Every structure is written in C-alpha cells, then in structure tokens.
Chain A
Amino acid sequence: MANIETIANEPAPGSAVSGIDQSAGNFRYEEKHDFDAGTGLTERTVDYISAVKKEAPWIKDFRLAALKTFLARPLPTHWATRDLENINFDKIRYYLSNGQKPKRTWDEVPDDIKRTFERLGIPEQERKFLAGVEAQFDSEAAYSNIKEAVSKQGVIFVNSTEGLREHPEIFRKWFGKVIPTGDNKFSALNSAVFSGGSFIYVPPGVKVSHPLQAYFRINAENFGQFERTLIIADEGSEVTYMEGCTAPKFSTTTLHSAVVELVALKGAKIQYITVQNWSSNVFNLVTKRGLAHEEAEIKWIDCNIGSRLTMKYPGVVLKGRKARGEVVSIALANDGQHQDTGAKMIHAADETTSNIIAKSISVGQGRSTYRGVVHIPRHLKGCRNNTECDALLINTNSRTDTYPAITVRGSANSVQHEASVSKVSDEQIFYMRQRGLTEAQAMSLSVNGFINDLTRQFPMEYSVELKRLIDLEMEGSVG
C-alpha cells in the first residue's frame, strides 16, 4: 500500500476515513421508510422481509428454520456477560428501508442519505484508494459501485439479496456453510432476518489490487442491523475487504448482529479489515469465520473501539493442507464499554499454521476480555499455533480478562500461548513530560506505541485515523 514507516509519524491532515471518527458519526437524519417490519420478531416479521425482497422459497425456509433455532436457544450467559439480558428483542425494529435497489452513482442516491455518507467521507475514499464501495443505510445498501476495471476481471461485488437472486450458482453452495445457522443464538438471529451486507466472488487467479469497502450505518432508533457477508476467493485469487461502522448516539440501545463467512479456495488469500466504532449504546454481537482450503490464507484484522458490548471472535477453519490463519486484534474499552473479543483457530489438516496477536487497552472503568480457542484434533501432523495477548491497563480501576482454551491431540504439533498485563509506567510518563508533552499526550504516545506493531499492518488511511481516535479516547483518561 504505502511506505508504512512514515505512517505513524505523519498524521495526514483531514484524512477522515469512513467509520472511525466517533464525533463524525454522531448525527442523524429524519426517518422516512417505505418498508418497515415494525417492532418485535415473529414469523410474520420474517415473512414480511422475505416478501419485500421477493426471495426464492428456499431462502424463506432457511429464515424460518433459523427463527425457530433463535427462539429455542438461551442466551449464552453461562460464560458470557449478563449484560446480554438487557437486550429487549421485542422492542427492536428488524427491517427498515426505502427500497432494495442500491444506486450505482452518487447522483442517484437520495439527498439525505448522500449527505450522511458525504459527511463520513465515503465518496472521497472511493476516489482515493478503493476498488469498490458499498454503503448500507439501515437494512439495505443505498449505494453500491465497483470500479469498471475490477468488474471486467469477473469480480462480483453485490449485496446479499442480489447475490442470492442473481448468482445462486456461485453463492448458494457456501451460504450458511462456514457458519451454520445454529452456530450460536446470534448467528441464528441473523439467519432469520438478515438483510444487506456484501457478497463477493473473485475468480481464479484474479488479484484485486485495491481494497473493496463496505460501510455500515445505523440511522434509525431501536433498529437492529443484521447484514450478511459472504466472500469467495477462488483458486489463487487475492482480495482485501474493509468495513467500517457508525451510528448516532440514541437514548435506547441498538443491536448489530452480523454474520460474515469467508471461503478461500486453494491458494487464495483473503484479508478482512474491520474498524468498529459503533456508538456506546450498540450491542455488537457478530459471528465471523473463514474456511481456508489448501495453501490458502485468511487474515482478520479486527479493531474494536466503539459499542457498549462487543462479542466477536473471528475464526479460521484450516481445512486444507498448509492453510494459514491469522487474527490481529486491537480493542480499546473506555468507561461503560466491554470489548469481549478474541479468535478461534480450528486446525483440520496437516501442516496448518495459525497466529493470533491480540492487544487490548482498558481505560477508566472499561473492561476488555480476550477469549480464544485453538483446537488441534487427533491424527494431525505439523500444525502450529502461536498466540500472544497483551493487555494495557490505564487507570487503577480498569479491568482485563484473558480466557484462552487450547486443545492439542497428538505429539506432532506445537502450540504456544503467552499473555501479559502491563500499565504505562510513571517513569515513562515523567520522561515524556520532561520533553514538554502533556500527560495526555504522553499517555497517547505510550498507548500508540503499545499497538504500533499492529497498526503498521493496517492500510495507511486506517492506521492514521486509528491513532487520531486513540488520542481522542485518551483525553480525560489521566489525572
């Protein structure tokens, strides 16, 4: 992408990347929806969504079966936080839109929505460095565009409704296969009411040189967003996908529950980057998993800064020989936030390798939790996992937890897990203040230093914004 060395040093002025600046996201426009499934979730809600989308019968059956699973499953509070009990599923609005067909040019996008995305810098980003953009406003994509050169290579980049309707021969095969409906209560919920999200297909050997980006926006109060993303990278292809998300601060809590499935066929590479900056009353409960075939590589770069509660453990099922999986995770939990994040690595073939690096920062009364699963079942050979978890605690009342679970069978594999907890030392802060930095500046610099080796892996625009955002979060953390 760019010369990374200069990135941390050069905060480019005015580079507002979509989806990261919390203050940039805190505005909203009047609501006026042509399609509204009302509040609460019953079979009628699912019927309504399916009818609006004019879906094939198999999709409706899939949704209804998922609804049953969702209703039957208890909340996972035997291991997860009881804060989940504060979600009132009956008060949530499950579908809101003004039609399903996304606009292909900015001119066609309705003015109020256009203004929203312009304020968040989407068109600017597209011009600057993206191969394609999809911008979702509540339930449906308001705008979707892919650069002509990329689509000429045979790359498909559409929303979920369109993907299942126009290209079932490609997407149906993998839809719901990486993450089965019953994987967990929230994947079942998503499977029942999903709308929007990106369906991407990259043909064999095609290397998409610039990232594809999706931008998710919740605009309506009490609205639940349930996008569904499926990316298939055919043999030997490569693609990078980035997503950002924001919502205005409502007085009531809101739910975002996505399902993201990745399929990397033989030798393919997928990199999936998330910068999550939901407002602090969003429950963000997301299931993300990739399936890596022989010699394929899936890398999740997952950065969580916003939301009230995030529960998200991106995973890779290493299905083919020599497949590689990686999760790079950054979490920042401020007052009133709980970032419950981590990774899952399921080794299912010989010589597969996985790597997890997770760094969290807890500020004020923020709480960050790492949960990890590394599973190497019997009769596999030459599998390796390396996990590093580091937590930085800023204030005396900050909290961090680490709960890894590692299972290894057989004598031909090796697994290593290391974790540490530290704080920014008083001597370090004094040293920096002696050079003229304020306490808050010194703290920001230390925190950015703590995650510097990870932010270097981000595309430049994101790493610069991330730094700026951390500066914002660190203000007021001292004293």
Chain B
Amino acid sequence: MPAPSPTLPARAIGGFTAEAFAAHLESQAGAPAWWLERKRAAYATFAALPLPARTDERWRFSTVQGIDLGSCVPATGAAPLPAVLPVKAAASLVFVNNRLVSRSAPSAELESRGVVVTTISEALRRHEPLLKAHFMAQAQRLGSEKFASLHIAFLADGAFIHIPRGVELSEPILVTHAVSGADAAIFPHTLVVADENSRAAVVDSFVSIPGTGADSRQLAVGANDLYAGHGSRLAYAAVQDWSRETLSLQLNASIARRDARIQSLNIHLGGRQSRHESLSELQAPGAYSEMLALTVASGTQEFDQRTHQMHQAPNTKSDLLYKNALLDSSRTIFSGLIVVDPDAQKTDAYQSNRNLVLSENAEANSLPGLEIQANDVRCTHGATTTRIDPEQEFYLLSRGIPRAAAHKLLVTAFFEEVLARLEDAALHDAILGLIRTKLDGAALA
C-alpha cells in the first residue's frame, strides 16, 4: 500500500481528506470485508499519487492545471428529481448525489427470467460474487490511476445490471446520475454483465440539477464496467450533460468475449473540463467492439478523450469513430491507440477522429496511434481537422437559410454518421434534441 505523500499540494487531495474517507467508510458499515479493504487500499493509492503532470505522455495536450480537486467534498443531501431522458425503458434507476432516489423495476416476466437491475449496495448483499468479479476489474492504463482510486474509495452506490444467459431485452435500461449543490462531488458507477447469448441496451445519463443562481462548481469521477459474454450483444450509450462548472473524469472499461459485440456511444456536452477514458478489451476470437463518440465543445470547454482498442485474441474487430464539433474557444483532445498483441493475427481495427472546427479560436488536437505486433492484420486510422465546407455552406445560404441555421444543419449532418448507428429511434431523437439545444445556445455563425 503506497504511503500518503506529505509533499502533495492541497489541490491534489481537495476535500478528500483522511477524515472525509473515515466518515465515508463509516457509512459503508455492514459491507463485506473485501469491499472495505479495496476502498482502504484505493484511498491510500489516491492519497499517494500526484495530480497528472504536463510531462506525462498520457496527458499530452491536456490542461493539467485545470485538474484541481479544489474544495469539492462527497455530495450529500436531498434535491429535486432530475430530468430523465425521454426514452421508453425496460427499467430505470435514478441516483442523486450518490444515492438511489427513484427506480422502476423490470417487468415481472423479465425478473422471473433473472434480469437484475439494482444498486451496487444491494448487489453487495445479494450478488456479491458477480460484483466482486467484475467491479473495476481492468487495470487502469490510460493515465487516471489516481482518479480510479478516488472513485473506488468514495463510491457510495451505483447501478448493477445483470442480464442472464439467453435473455433478450427489447428496450433499454436507463440509469440517471445527477449531482446537486455547490462543491459537490459524485462518483457514478454503472456495472453491466451480459451473459452468454443475451442482448441488452443500457443508457447512462449524467446531469447536474440546476441550483440557485449560476452553475455550481462540481466534480464527477465516474466509471463503468461492461462485460459482454460469449455471443452476447451489449449496446451502451452515455449522455454527459454536467453543469458548465463541472470537472468530469469518466473511466469506461469494456470486455468482449468470444463472438460478443459491444457498441458504446458517448455523447459529450457538459462540463468545464472533461476527461473521458475508454478501454476496450477484445479477449476472444470473434469479439467486436464499436466505439463511438460525439462532442459539442463550446465556450471554453475542454474535452479530453483517450482510448485503447486492445486486440488480445485472433480474428477480433474494432471500429472507432470519434467526432468533435468545436465552437468558440473550446479545445478537444483525442488520443487513441490500437494495440494488437503478437498472437492477435487477423485483427481488423479501425480508428477515426474527425474534427469540425467552427471558430477561429477553437483548437483540436489529435493523437491517433497504432502499436502493432502481429503482421496479418488490417489496421487503419485516420484523423482530419476541417472547417465547414464553403461550397455546402454557400448552397444552403443560396436557398435562403441563414448562416447560423445552415451551420447547425451541417453540424448535425456531420454527427448523423454516428447517430445513425443507434438502433433505438427514441434514443436517437433524444440525443439529437440535446445536441440541437446546445447548438441553439452557441454562437454558430
């Protein structure tokens, strides 16, 4: 266990002091010993590790001075219910400030077939082996060991979803994670285990509940664990719409087993500074991971996205498409790496980052990387940074469409390539609605 370093500055610990951790542990009384032990070890790691440094390659181009734990403390207290996505769901959970406030259970038919949609705190009592096997099971590789440890240490509750073998859900499971209050920190977690030949869709929605006055400074350190068993199909979508003063660190990890298919789509709208890490492991032949993301960056927002496509077995496939639209003085960073292990022959991997820059002061950074150790592979990547096509723009203007509306149209068209891959039409429309709302509030011309 690393010893807490006395030399770390206050901003590296923030409100997450040893006292705060002790208080949190007390609230977890009654949890299994391994759980508490994992939290203690995680807290020690968190407290020992420094904040990311500018010289750390895994944080290249990131505004590391903005990664400040400041005065945030674990969120508590009641708040009004947040808005939830207008999607017809098979089941739903709503968490506010790390606590479950509302749920709608799956149908009796699904429950009778063993579908579980519940909280982590309940899973600790009733589904302990499954939780223990899958909770934060993958090693951190993308640079956020400190924040993963903070997440484990202070996690109070989260979503636990289990789809048993052969069960197919026709509607998504909707999980809403909301934060309320100034200097509030939350640790959203969603864990999904899709067993052999099952089929499910899970949607995470991240929102800040508007408080009195301006946006509040908030901190969100979230994580998820997605596990797709043999032959299963798991679709995951996340819509991040935190307040504009939120520092967000979200760590996603997925595992695809033999012939499994995982699709993940991350929509990034909110936050002051958002770091999103997505690690996809293709562990067995036939596994397929589709990694999609859309970002609308405006004002002085920074979105920092880091990905690993890890091909660990032969005949695996991954397809990544991350699209960013940049307005005002926003910044984006995309850093992706396709890793092909020496025995992962016949890998088919694709990675693409497309940036559409709409403002003189916006900045797009792209680091599309490959590390290939097998020769019989098809691996390609591409990155482009372009402006709105002046010909297209002129065409729309000549039809009498005002410039701002024309730009909005072209940005949504730019995103449609990704959104079209969503199977759920209601979800597609809900996401498009949120993107349009954000574009309406931005200076587009």
**Which chain A residues in 365-398 approach chain B with CB under 8 Å?**
378-379, 391, 393-398
CB closest chain-B residue, reference A79: B57
User: Is B437 interfacial (CB 8 A cutoff)?
Assistant: no
The reply to whether B365 and A406 form a contact with Cβ atoms under 8 Å apart is yes
CA distance A399 to B374 in the complex (A): 7
B362 and A393: CB pair below 8 A? Answer: no
Set B60, B381, B387: member contacting A414, Cβ < 8 A:
B387
Q: Which residues of A contact B19 (CB under 8 A)?
A: none
Choose, from B79-87, B101-109, B352-360, the stretch at the interface. Answer: B352-360
Check if B345 is an interface residue, CB within 8 A of chain A: yes
User: Across the interface, do A405 and B380 meet the contact criterion of CB distance under 8 Å?
Assistant: no
Question: What CA separation (Å) do A404 and B335 show in the bound complex?
Answer: 9
B237 to chain A, nearest CB (A): 28
Nearest-CB residue, chain A, relative to B53: A78
Chain B residues with Cβ below 8 Å from A108 are none
For the complex, would chain A's binding face be called helix, strand, loop or mixed by DSSP majority?
Answer: strand
Please pick, from B56, B360, B372, B378, the residue contacting A412 in the complex, using a CB distance under 8 A.
B360
CB B52 to nearest CB in A, in angstroms, measures: 13
The contact string, 1 if C-beta is below 8 Å from chain B, for chain A 338-359, is 0000000000000000000000
Q: How far is the CB of B330 from chain A (nearest CB, A)?
A: 11
> Which chain A residue shows the least CB distance to B363?
A409
B377 near A423: Cβ-Cβ < 8 Å: yes
Cβ of A415 under 8 Å from chain B: yes
Tell me, rounded to whole Å, the shortest Cβ–Cβ distance linking A400 to chain B. Answer: 5
A405 x B370 contact (CB < 8 A) = no
In the bound complex, residues from chain B placing their C-beta under 8 Å from that of A398 are: 373, 375
A to B CB contacts below 8 Å, 15 in the list: A397-B375, A398-B375, A399-B372, A402-B368, A403-B367, A405-B60, A407-B365, A408-B357, A411-B362, A412-B387, A413-B357, A413-B385, A414-B386, A418-B381, A423-B376
A405 to chain B, nearest CB (A): 5
Cβ of A402: which chain B residues have Cβ within 8 Å of it?
368-370, 381
Nearest chain B CB to A427's CB is how many angstroms away?
12
CB-based contact B57/A410 at 8 Å:
no
Please report which residues of chain A, range 445-476, place their CB below 8 angstroms from some CB of chain B when the two chains form the complex. none
Interface residues on B, range: 35 or more
A423 to B373 Cα, complex, angstroms: 12
Question: Which positions 404-441 of chain A face chain B at CB distance < 8 Å?
Answer: 404-423
Complex alpha-carbon distance, A414 and B390, angstroms? 12
- Of the candidates A393, A401, A406, A417, the one whose C-beta lies within 8 Å of that of B375 is A393
CB-defined contacts of B385 to chain A, threshold 8 Å: 406, 408, 413-415
Which residues of A are found within 8 Å of B61, using beta-carbon distances? Answer: 405, 407
Contacts of A416 in B (CB 8 A): 382-384
B406 to chain A, nearest CB (A): 14
Q: Which residues of B contact A405 (CB under 8 A)?
A: 60-61, 365-367
Chain A residues within an 8 Å CB radius of B367: 403-406
Q: Which residues of A contact B357 (CB under 8 A)?
A: 408-411, 413
| Cα separation A410 to B359 with both chains bound (whole Å) | 6
- State whether the Cβ of B161 lies closer than 8 Å to any Cβ in chain A: no
B122 contacts A by Cβ under 8 Å: no
Establish whether residues A379 and B360, one from each chain, have CB atoms under 8 Å apart when the complex forms.
yes
Cβ–Cβ contact A404 & B369, under 8 A:
yes
Of B358, B361, B370, B372, the residue contacting A378 (CB under 8 A) is: B361
Q: Beyond the given A393-B377, A396-B374, A404-B366, please list 17 additional residue pairs across the A-B interface where CB-CB is below 8 A.
A: A379-B360, A396-B342, A401-B369, A404-B368, A404-B383, A405-B365, A406-B365, A407-B363, A408-B357, A410-B362, A412-B387, A413-B385, A418-B381, A418-B382, A419-B368, A419-B370, A421-B370
- Kindly identify which residue among B57, B366, B379 contacts A417, using a CB–CB cutoff of 8 Å: B366
The CA-CA distance from A420 to B359 in the complex, in Å, is 31
Cβ of A397 to closest chain B Cβ, rounded Å: 6
